Structure 1
Amino acid sequence: MDTEYRALQQGSPSPWRTADGVSSWGPAQHQKRQRCQGSSSDQAGSSSSSSLQISEPEPQQNQEEDYYVEDDCDAYDEDDYDFDEAEFNLHLADKFDDLDLPPGVEANVPWLQKIPPKEVVKQPPISITADENANKYDKFKQFDTVQTFSDHHYAKNSHEEPTRAWSKRVQHDWKLLENDLPAYIYVRVAEDRMDLLRAAIIGPKGTPYHDGLFFFDVHIPSAYPSGPPLVYYHSGGLRINPNLYENGRVCLSLLGTWDGRGCEKWNPAQSTMLQVLVSIQALILNEKPYYNEPGYESFATTPNGQLLALKYNDDTFLYSCRTMLYSLRRPPEHFADLVAGHFRVHGHTILAACKHYMAGNDIGSVVPEEEEESASRSAPKAKPGVIRTIPLNRRYAGSFDTSLKVLYEDLLMEFNVKGADTRKFMIEKLKKDQPAGT
């Protein structure tokens, strides 16, 4: 079984199958086979499960050259700004301390924590192509410039000739992004169109968005910073949050798209692009997004409200899995290396979480280690110190399990192509698909 799995991972046929499913024979066996072409054993040897044959990963886009805008007239001059990085970070954190968040909703962001070294995949390189893709992922910067965007949502928006003040402010924001991006946010800005920016945000742990990749296109209008930027979410037609619409609308008070009470408003003198991205990661992609809906926070202490919040998390995780497939199959421009590398590293964790949730555990709960997984499937566990008041059979008619099983199979094959550590799950699938009695 291990031999067959390694063959699948390497994108090559198994020792007893060729690429077209026909048995592989030595010289002696070929002679014997010619004498027995009509035998049933030969027919049996020629039938195989072509569905498990995995194609080689698609070539990824080349890494963009490192570049920073230089302009004799509009170049950013640090002397024009009396900028204290430590003071700015403290000021940004203070903005979130006084926000009146719904009960149970927390900001899941380590404040301006620099991203840790990318996790090392223990599995040895599968092929030269996979190894090259891993190197591209390791070298993928949190912040970088690109020439242009051809698929940007705001690419067709007219853009006036930038003024000196606008250019300086945009480059000032770029410098903040380059130096102070918190963990798990990646940004690309356009050389030819300084008004265009694209960001990828990784869903925080402990939420229904964990390990997902969510993409946002940003347009900086000519009136900036007098007014906020325009932000579009790549939804794929799915509404995964009350603040993220199917049409790409991002509902956030800082952007002027929501007029809630006690919320942070855009301040031309203090608000920045960095603050916008941190707000999306911390306040929108949170542990209990159901309560993001205006007025729903009043139900946070009621059993029915808690039940609805858990059900919303179930649906949200399903949408997050579909978003993963959408990104894998159609990665946004300049982020193909990040998409392939991210799911190569995190594919095993995502698949383990799928099985953990299908066993009845809450979305976002800690997935046990390998040796503890069998014990965890006996019954769902509440978080330490939390008294569960929600019935264990809260999922309706098994629709969640049925949908997640389909998504799990699709993710398994996609992650396998990208070179993720799917060994355990592929062996389980092979055993499950093996005919009884063989």
Structure 2
Amino acid sequence: MDLLRVVMVGASRTPYHDGLFFFDLQLPPSYPDAPPQVYYHSFGLRLNPNLYESGTVYLSLLNTFGGEGTEVWSSTASSLLQVVVSIQGLVLNDKPYYNETGYETMVDKPEGRRNALPYSENAYLLTLRTMLHLLHRPPRGFEEFVKEHFRHRGRFVLRTCNAWLQGNIVDNAHATEVSRKQPCSAGLRLALTNMVPSLMAAFTEIRADGCEEYRSCESNCHVLSATH
């Protein structure tokens, strides 16, 4: 076997939570002397500095980005599992802003904190758009997998949207209640007013569990849209 497909679920407390992210891995003839070639199903969206619209994944372990020592591929020590875990943990993380080249120096600095929030908000919106693309055009062979995932998680996606619209954020690890206050930009609220109805329609079409609970979320969108 030299062609594999990997699907990851975005981790809680990141802009990518509950999203699905598809990667195709091809093992070249020289594998394991050379790393696998990885293609990300981006749908033309760049929701992370390491994931390009073209599908290229920039990662030291794949020799597509600079690195040294254990950061780069080793024919004796590296593995496919390491590649997958690196994408999940180092790329789809809670503060993708700092993945931009040179921006890691701004961690915990005022400028970094000021810029990281809008960057994460945009990554969250692009994650929602990726969900819609997957629901409308799931990768071949994964049609039912995509439906089943969002049948179970659709309500929590809408819960998070509703929390943002109300100026809160959901503790998605438990997905039971609003846990703490967090600023929400006007731009995010406006974007959600336009996106939530489409999400609601897509989840309703696949008969996602509990979506009827969040009709109020859709109503909030109509009210906010009218005020703008």
- Normalising by structure 2, what TM-score? 0.88
Which has more strand, going by share of residues? 2
> Is 1:303 matched up with 2:91?
no
- 1:243 is aligned, of 20, 44, 50, to 50
Listed one character per residue, the Cα deviations across residues 247-285 of structure 1 (whole Å, up to 9, x for unaligned) are 111001110011135652111112111111111111111
- Normalising by structure 1, what TM-score? 0.47
- 1:381 is aligned, of 161, 181, 203, to 181
Matches for 1:173-212 after TM superposition, within 5 Å = 194-212=1-19
Q: Which residue identity lines up with residue 171 of structure 2 in the other structure?
A: V
> Counterpart of 2:202?
414
> Counterpart of 1:324?
131
The answer (yes or no) to whether the contact 2:156–2:175 under 8 Å persists in 1 is: no
Cα distance change of structure 1 residues 294 and 260 upon mapping to structure 2, 3 Å threshold: farther
Cα distance change of structure 1 residues 430 and 302 upon mapping to structure 2, 3 Å threshold: closer
- Aligned residue for 2:151, secondary structure, equals helix
Cα distance change of structure 1 residues 211 and 432 upon mapping to structure 2, 3 Å threshold: closer
- 1:423 is aligned, of 203, 208, 212, to 212
Matches for 1:338-377 after TM superposition, within 5 Å = 338-361=145-168, 366=171
Supply the distance in 1 between the matched residues of 2:87 and 2:206 (Cα, whole angstroms): 28
Cα distance change of structure 1 residues 263 and 342 upon mapping to structure 2, 3 Å threshold: same
- 1:216 is aligned, of 8, 23, 30, to 23
Cα distance change of structure 1 residues 313 and 262 upon mapping to structure 2, 3 Å threshold: farther
Q: Which residue identity lines up with residue 157 of structure 2 in the other structure?
A: I
Listed one character per residue, the Cα deviations across residues 24-55 of structure 1 (whole Å, up to 9, x for unaligned) are xxxxxxxxxxxxxxxxxxxxxxxxxxxxxxxx
The answer (yes or no) to whether the contact 2:162–2:217 under 8 Å persists in 1 is: no
Count of paired positions: 220
Unaligned runs of 5+ in 2: 223-228
1:302 Cα deviation from its structure 2 partner: 1.6
Which has more helix, going by share of residues? 2
Listed one character per residue, the Cα deviations across residues 44-91 of structure 1 (whole Å, up to 9, x for unaligned) are xxxxxxxxxxxxxxxxxxxxxxxxxxxxxxxxxxxxxxxxxxxxxxxx
Q: Which residue identity lines up with residue 212 of structure 2 in the other structure?
A: R
Listed one character per residue, the Cα deviations across residues 197-249 of structure 1 (whole Å, up to 9, x for unaligned) are 11111101110000000001111111111100100100011101010011111
Supply the distance in 2 between the matched residues of 1:432 and 1:293 (Cα, whole angstroms): 32
1:312 Cα deviation from its structure 2 partner: 0.4
Supply the distance in 1 between the matched residues of 2:28 and 2:147 (Cα, whole angstroms): 32
Supply the distance in 1 between the matched residues of 2:16 and 2:219 (Cα, whole angstroms): 29
The answer (yes or no) to whether the contact 1:361–1:381 under 8 Å persists in 2 is: yes
- 1:334 is aligned, of 128, 141, 144, to 141
- Aligned residue for 1:406, secondary structure, equals helix
Cα distance change of structure 1 residues 261 and 428 upon mapping to structure 2, 3 Å threshold: closer
- Aligned residue for 2:47, secondary structure, equals coil
Listed one character per residue, the Cα deviations across residues 286-339 of structure 1 (whole Å, up to 9, x for unaligned) are 110110112101111222210110110000000000000000000001111110
Listed one character per residue, the Cα deviations across residues 87-145 of structure 1 (whole Å, up to 9, x for unaligned) are xxxxxxxxxxxxxxxxxxxxxxxxxxxxxxxxxxxxxxxxxxxxxxxxxxxxxxxxxxx
The answer (yes or no) to whether the contact 1:229–1:255 under 8 Å persists in 2 is: yes
Q: Which residue identity lines up with residue 272 of structure 1 in the other structure?
A: S
C-alpha RMSD of the superposition: 2.3
The answer (yes or no) to whether the contact 1:236–1:326 under 8 Å persists in 2 is: yes
Supply the distance in 2 between the matched residues of 1:431 and 1:356 (Cα, whole angstroms): 11
Larger Rg computed on CA atoms: 1
The percent of aligned pairs where both chains have the same amino acid is: 45
> Counterpart of 2:226?
none
